[in-house]
Chains A and B, each alone.
Chain A
Amino acid sequence: MELFELGIKAAQEGLNKGEFAAKDLVQSIIERYRAKNGEIGAYLTFDEEQALALAEANPKAVPIAIKDLINVQGQPCTCASKILKGYVSPYDATVVKNLKANGFIPCGRVNMDEFAMGSSTENSALGVTRNPYDLSRVPGGSSGGSAAAVGADMCIAALGTDTGGSIRQPASFCNCVGVKPSYGRVSRYGVTAFASSLDQVGPMSKSVEDAAILLKAIAGYDQMDGTTPREPVPDYVRAIEGASLKGVKIGLPKEYFGVDGLDGEVKRVTERAIKLAADAGAELVEVSLPHTQYAMAVYYIIAPAEASANLARFDGVRYGHRSEAATDVYSLYTKSRAEGFGPEVKRRIIMGTYVLSSGYYDAYYARAQKVRTLIKRDFDAVFAKVDALMAPCAPTPAFRIGELQDPLTMYLNDLFTIPSALAGVCAASIPAGFTEPDHLPVGVQFVCNAFDEARLFRVCKAFEDIAKQGE
C-alpha cells in the first residue's frame, strides 16, 4: 500500500508508531500529484517546497488538502476566480490555525466553482477538474477539487465548504464521506464568504472515522466569528465507538422520494441502503417536511442576496484585480469587477442585487426569510420524532462535463441538500454503492438536528460498516 492511499486514522497510527514521518506522507502525495493531476486537475496549486518544509517542522502531522477559498498564510487564495489572481493570504483562517494546533498541516490548494457558486466545478475560472471514476464527467461542486482529490487518493483528506450542498453532492459523485456541520459549529473567519447565513467548512474524507477526527480538530468557539457558540465540541471519535443502527429511529422524508428528477439508479441504490439499515435494526418511519418544495426558491433568493453584499468587497482598491482601463472610481469598480468575475458569479450578483432592490425586497428577500422559518420548523417537528433522516444526496450520479448548460437545471442538483442547509442542521453524504452499468458512485444522505453531530457520526459509521459488508 502506498502512503497516499492512507486515511487520517491510518496515517496517525503510522506516524505515532514511527513507521514513517510527515515528510514521507507529503513526498508520497507529491508523487501522486505529479502522476495524476494532469488528468484529474484536483489541485489548482501545490507548493511542494512549502509542504515539505511544514512536514519537516511537524514530523507527526497529517497533511490536509485545502479548498482554495480558505486562507492559509503565505499561500494563494484565488476562490478559483481571476479577480484574486496573484493574491497571497496575509493570515490563517481559524480552521487552519485549529488544524495546525491539532496535528495537521495544510497541503495543496484544490479547485472549486468560482466563489463556491456551482455544482460541477465547471465554473472555476482557473482549471478543469474531472471525476476520478469517469474522466468525461464532473466531480460535482462546488468542493469538486476536494472530492476528486479524496476520491483519487491524491490526499489523505480535504476541507471543503457547503452552502447549499457543496460538500455533500461532490462527496456523493466521488465516493467519499462529506460532512456539512451544523451552522455555527465551525468558524468562518478567514473563509471567503459566499452566503454568510449558510456557509460552513467541513471534512471530506475516506471514512466516517476520519471525518469525525477532522471535524473535532477544526470545530469550536472562535471570538472572530460571533455565530460560533461557546459549547464544547464533543469527542466525535469516542462517539462512534460501537456504533449501531439497532433501535435508531430514522425518518424517510416522503417529499424526497417522489421527485420527477430522481434518477432510477440513484433511487435503486438509495432503496438498497434503506433496506440495509432496516436489516441492521433501524426503525424506519415515513415523515413529512411539507415546505421542501419551496426550499430551492428560498435558497436562490437568500444565497445570491448575501453573495451580492459579500462580493461588494471586490472593488479593485485594496486587493484583487484592478482594471487598467479605469479612468475614475466608478469605472474602477465596474470594469475591475467585469474583468475579474466569471459568468455565474455575475449572474448571482445581479440576481441578489435585484431581490434586494427597492420595490422587490419585501416580495423576495423578506418573504424568503419567512418561508425559511417554516422550513426550519419542518425539521424541528420531525426531529422531535426521529433521530435522523435518510434520503438521496443528489438526484443524479455525476453528469458529463458540459452536459448541463442552463443555470436553473444546474441549480436543481441541490434539491436534496438545500433544505437542511437552510435549516442550519448537520448532514452527511456516505458512499452507498454504484450505478449500473456505468459504475458511478452514489452517496446516501443522513441528516441530524443542529449540534447533534455526535449522533450523525454514529449513524453514519454504523451505516458505513454495513454498506462495506454488503460489497
Chain B
Amino acid sequence: MKIDVGYVAELARLELTAEEKALFQGQLESIVGYVEKISEVDVTGVEPMMHGRPLANAFREDEVRSSLDKEQALANAPKRVGDEFLLPKIVEGAES
C-alpha cells in the first residue's frame, strides 16, 4: 500500500515538512495496513451505521432565538477591521 502523503496533505490543507512526510509515510502505511483487515468481512446486504444511534430527522420549533452578538463573535478573531474578519486578498485586483 503506497500512500501519496503529499497529495493527501494538500487535500487536508496542511503543510508538511520533508521530515513529517517521511515519518507519516511509514506510520500511515502501517496503520492502513492494519485497517485493511475489514476487507475480509462479508458485508453483503448490511446497512451502514452512520451514527451512534438510529436517527430520524430531529425537528424543533422554528423560533427566533438570541445568539452571539457581533462583538462576542469577533472577540477571538486573529485579525479584524471594524465588524469584519480581515483576510489576505482573495480576488485578484480587489482591495484587501
Contacts from A to B (Cβ < 8 Å): 86-88, 90-91, 182-184, 197-198, 200, 223, 226-227, 229, 291, 293-294, 296-298, 300-301, 308, 312, 315-322, 326-335, 337-338, 341, 343, 346-347, 349-355, 357, 363-364, 366-374, 376, 406-408, 411, 422, 424, 450
Contact = CB atoms under 8 A, between A and B. Distances in A.
A363 B87 CA distance: 38
Interface hub of B23, B53, B87 (most chain A Cβ within 10 A): B53
B20 A369 contact: no
Interface in B56-77: 58, 60, 68, 72-73, 75-77
B76 A350 contact: no
Contacts of B47: 370, 373
A31 B30 CA distance: 47
Given A297-B37, A300-B34, A354-B32, 15 more contacts: A183-B51, A197-B51, A296-B34, A308-B12, A316-B78, A327-B88, A350-B5, A353-B12, A363-B39, A364-B38, A366-B48, A369-B50, A370-B43, A408-B27, A408-B31
A87 B75 CA distance: 9
A367 to B, nearest CB: 6
Contacts, number: 172
Main secondary structure of the interface of A (DSSP, over half): helix
B8 to A, nearest CB: 5
Contacts of A354: 3, 8, 28, 32
A332 B28 contact: no
Contacts of A86: 76
B11 A374 contact: no
Contact of A294 (B3, B20, B32, B41): B41
Given A346-B24, A376-B49, A424-B52, A318 B15 contact: no
B64 to A, nearest CB: 14
B34 A408 contact: yes
Main secondary structure of the interface of B (DSSP, over half): loop
A301 B77 contact: no
A319 B76 contact: yes
B85 A349 contact: no
Contact of B31 (A200, A317, A351, A363): A351
Interface of B: 3, 5, 8-9, 11-16, 20, 23-24, 27-28, 30-32, 34-39, 41, 43, 46-53, 55, 58, 60, 68, 72-73, 75-79, 85, 87-90
Given A350-B12, A369-B48, A370-B46, A91 B55 contact: no
A366 B41 CA distance: 13
A322 B86 CA distance: 11
Nearest to A312: B13
10 contacts: A227-B55, A229-B53, A298-B38, A300-B31, A329-B87, A350-B9, A351-B32, A352-B12, A370-B46, A408-B31
Contact of B90 (A300, A329, A373, A450): A329
